[in-house]
A and B are shown apart, each in its own frame.
Chain A
Amino acid sequence: MEKLNGEALRKIDEIVARHKDQAGPCIEMLHEVQNELGYIPYEAMEKIAEATGSSPAEVYGVVMFYAQFTTEPKGKHVINVCLGTACYVKGAQQLIDRVEKLTGAAVNKTSPDGLFSLDATRCLGACGLAPVCIIDGKYYGNALVNNDFTNEIRRIVREEKKAGANA
């Protein structure tokens, strides 16, 4: 497990201290940690457990109960692929396979380079455009026909490479 940097640890401490004496503090703390760090690291569960008189395993139980919490850092770019009925029928699985190939991220995981996370979601309410995926908040409909999601992912990879080279 990667070590958290000092800044992240300080942030966790600060969040825990702020909510310690509230009612039902665990959820509040988890929300803030998720927002600040993009995921819930082990260190946060340990500190929250200590402050609330529970154990890390119990806090983990809460994390795993609510879909909005994740235990893995989210990628810099988030891709949602709809797995609702309409999209499924129109080839969402094929879409997922292609996104996996392009990004290196497995379903509900983050790619090893930390660039992408790939989440399978329920119906996005755009069934007319099935199959649908969302990249950083932008919808890509009829994805398998239009293929513009491929271009977008390729563009992101190019940009990030450039930024990396200049850094």
Chain B
Amino acid sequence: MEVKGARALLSACTTPVSEGMVVWTNSERAIRARKTTVELIMSNHNKNCLSCKRNLNCELQKLCQELGIRENRFEGEYTEPTFEDASPGIVRDTSKCVLCERCIQTCKKVQGIGVLGLMNRGFKTKVGPIYDAGFNAVNCMQCGQCVTACPVGALTEKESIHEVIEAINDPDKVVICQTAPAVRASLGEEFGHRIGTLVTGKMVAALKRCGFDRVYDTNYGADMTIMEEGTELLKRIQNGGVLPMFTSCSPGWIKYIEYEYPDLLPHLSSAKSPHMMFGAALKTYWAQKNNIDPSKIFVVSIMPCIAKKTEILRPECKTGEYQDVDAVLTTREAARLIKMYGMDNIDIFEDEKFDQDFCGEYTGAGVIFGTSGGVMEAALRTVKQILDGKPLENVDFMECRGMAGVKEAEVDLNGQKIWIAITSSMSCAKPLLDEVRAGTSKYTFIEVMGCPGGCINGGGQSIISGRKKARIGDEYKVWRMETLYEEDKMMPKRVSMDNAQMQDMYTEFFGEPGSELAEKLLHTTYSPKKRFDIE
């Protein structure tokens, strides 16, 4: 910007306002300077927009367009890039990086880890993990918060779309799709809807037209998780087990605790995450019911999450011979898949329902899993109802809701008072974990989610530009959150244990929550992981 009295141009973001200051943000000189800056960024940028994942949702493209840049004024040499996709989750391509450092700050401030840093200097400067290594070789939780912070295509998710299309077109495969609750609160954004528009019915309609043999709701799995995790909690309380117990639905969080607090692993619930439980049930109970050979079943999870892509490969999670889930698509990839199948407007569809056979029912408690506080609220609903021995009158636990990084409450479980806490993002979780480590934690049960605000703000969700975030702040998370509470409110059943289809499954197949078979198929183990693994 140009400031009256100042000879040189000043940068708007670092110059303090002063009394009587006269500023021209759009003088010819200021515009020219902005243009030159962007042209210089472009001169070292791998401009293959047409094949870039961020094409049409790229902040650099947008700047070039706004500034009317029409030529490559400074063509020259390029910095030697790193292209790295060794981890199942995150891909780094420094030929697209504009060195804004948003990813570095996000990982450090939001997750408190600091996986990323700058290296080298001058023209050779690059961003990446230590030693320019792969994300799989360092203490990265694969949360993807750096991906949603990146303005360009330098950090992206590893795509699984082609595997999925291959499976759909394989006549021998039964391809079952399940969608996580948070996806319905963000998918609409990829089709031009206002942030947080609920698109459940349109999403189901579009996915069915992609050729999936079934489209189910992961909420069925969430209801299962509550049965397993809730039972585990009650057992721990009654038998003097390790407390506080941590929730285990967030694979990013699991990676974090394995790297950074391995001594606290006994606190982690052994329950698998909802989509993994659901996958396990589909390949056993559902397969039996439908008389289908489980080796023919291909389960695709549509998730707001990048860490889920690594979770499905965990050797600890394998059920018998098969992986519980075969592929994970992020919300963004799901939108790409739908568009690839020729549906660029999902509004033309009437709302459709998830498939209903055997594993189709779900409760409002499952829906709110998608937001920070939701798992806790869902667990409290069922645990309280079990202990009370009669249907809950009030299912709303307002103290679990809202955007705070740490929430806590004292709840009454049949006369016994316990403290619970809810946290999301590792920078917020850290103090709670330090308390547990020091033996001074007052809590009995702690919900931990890897991403700030929970899955609604997961690393796989629709990307909101930095400029928009600067304008609306955290509001976008609130909009997506409210959408889920809205759907919860509309559900006829809102307590997980009331899911009748799931109860039938327990009666017919698993016996009861925590049974030997449930332990085998629906629970898992953890182990300390090396923070850094490079030779």
Taking Cβ atoms with an 8 Å cutoff, the residues of A that contact B are 1, 42, 45-46, 49, 54-58, 60-61, 64-65, 71
- A56 in contact with B130 given A1-B534, A1-B535, A42-B532 (CB within 8 Å): yes
Residue of A nearest to B113 (CB): A55
Residue of B nearest to A64 (CB): B119
4 tightest Cβ-Cβ pairs between the two chains A and B:
A55-B114, A57-B117, A61-B117, A64-B119
Contacts A46-B532, A57-B138 known; list 10 others, CB within 8 Å.
Answer: A1-B534, A42-B534, A55-B114, A56-B130, A57-B114, A57-B116, A60-B130, A64-B121, A65-B120, A71-B131
> Is A57 in contact with B532, judged by CB distance below 8 angstroms?
no
Alpha-carbon separation in the docked complex, A101 to B138 (Å): 34
> Is A55 in contact with B117, judged by CB distance below 8 angstroms?
yes
Residue of A nearest to B128 (CB): A57
> Is A54 in contact with B130, judged by CB distance below 8 angstroms?
no
Alpha-carbon separation in the docked complex, A22 to B131 (Å): 27
Residue of B nearest to A55 (CB): B114
Interface contacts (Cβ under 8 Å), in number, total 41
Alpha-carbon separation in the docked complex, A42 to B534 (Å): 10
In this assembly, does B244 line the interface, its C-beta being within 8 Å of a C-beta of chain A?
no
> Is A58 in contact with B532, judged by CB distance below 8 angstroms?
no
Alpha-carbon separation in the docked complex, A49 to B108 (Å): 12
Residue of A nearest to B118 (CB): A61
Per-residue CB proximity of B523-535 to A under 8 Å, as 1/0?
0000000011011
> A42 to chain B: which residues have CB within 8 Å?
130, 532, 534
In this assembly, does B115 line the interface, its C-beta being within 8 Å of a C-beta of chain A?
yes
> Is A64 in contact with B129, judged by CB distance below 8 angstroms?
no
- A57 in contact with B115 given A1-B535, A45-B130, A71-B131 (CB within 8 Å): yes
> A1 to chain B: which residues have CB within 8 Å?
534-535
For residue A106, give the distance in angstroms from its CB to the closest CB of chain B: 16
> Is A55 in contact with B131, judged by CB distance below 8 angstroms?
no
The number of chain B residues with a CB under 8 A from chain A is 18
Per-residue CB proximity of B95-132 to A under 8 Å, as 1/0?
00000000000001000011111111100000001110
- A60 in contact with B117 given A45-B130, A55-B108, A71-B131 (CB within 8 Å): yes
Alpha-carbon separation in the docked complex, A64 to B126 (Å): 11
> B119 to chain A: which residues have CB within 8 Å?
60-61, 64-65
> B120 to chain A: which residues have CB within 8 Å?
64-65
- A56 in contact with B108 given A65-B121, A71-B131 (CB within 8 Å): no
For residue B185, give the distance in angstroms from its CB to the closest CB of chain A: 32
Alpha-carbon separation in the docked complex, A56 to B104 (Å): 12
> B138 to chain A: which residues have CB within 8 Å?
57
> B130 to chain A: which residues have CB within 8 Å?
42, 45, 56-57, 60
Residues of chain B from 510 to 532 with CB closer than 8 A to chain A in the complex:
531-532
> Is B115 in contact with A55, judged by CB distance below 8 angstroms?
yes
Alpha-carbon separation in the docked complex, A61 to B108 (Å): 14
Alpha-carbon separation in the docked complex, A42 to B139 (Å): 13
For residue A141, give the distance in angstroms from its CB to the closest CB of chain B: 31
Alpha-carbon separation in the docked complex, A57 to B118 (Å): 8
- A56 in contact with B116 given A45-B130, A65-B121, A71-B131 (CB within 8 Å): no
> Is B114 in contact with A54, judged by CB distance below 8 angstroms?
yes
Alpha-carbon separation in the docked complex, A61 to B119 (Å): 4
- Of the A-B pairs whose beta carbons lie under 8 Å apart in the complex, a sample of 17, sorted by A's number, is A1-B534, A42-B130, A42-B534, A45-B130, A46-B531, A49-B114, A55-B117, A56-B532, A57-B114, A57-B117, A57-B130, A57-B138, A60-B131, A61-B119, A64-B120, A64-B121, A65-B119
Residue of B nearest to A43 (CB): B532
Per-residue CB proximity of B50-87 to A under 8 Å, as 1/0?
00000000000000000000000000000000000000
For residue A123, give the distance in angstroms from its CB to the closest CB of chain B: 19
- A58 in contact with B131 given A1-B534, A1-B535, A42-B532 (CB within 8 Å): no
Alpha-carbon separation in the docked complex, A64 to B128 (Å): 12
> B108 to chain A: which residues have CB within 8 Å?
55
> A54 to chain B: which residues have CB within 8 Å?
114
> Is A58 in contact with B114, judged by CB distance below 8 angstroms?
yes
For residue B532, give the distance in angstroms from its CB to the closest CB of chain A: 6
Residue of B nearest to A42 (CB): B532
Alpha-carbon separation in the docked complex, A61 to B534 (Å): 17
For residue A64, give the distance in angstroms from its CB to the closest CB of chain B: 4
Residue of B nearest to A53 (CB): B114
Alpha-carbon separation in the docked complex, A164 to B116 (Å): 42
> B113 to chain A: which residues have CB within 8 Å?
55
Alpha-carbon separation in the docked complex, A46 to B531 (Å): 10
Residues of chain B from 309 to 328 with CB closer than 8 A to chain A in the complex:
none
> B531 to chain A: which residues have CB within 8 Å?
46
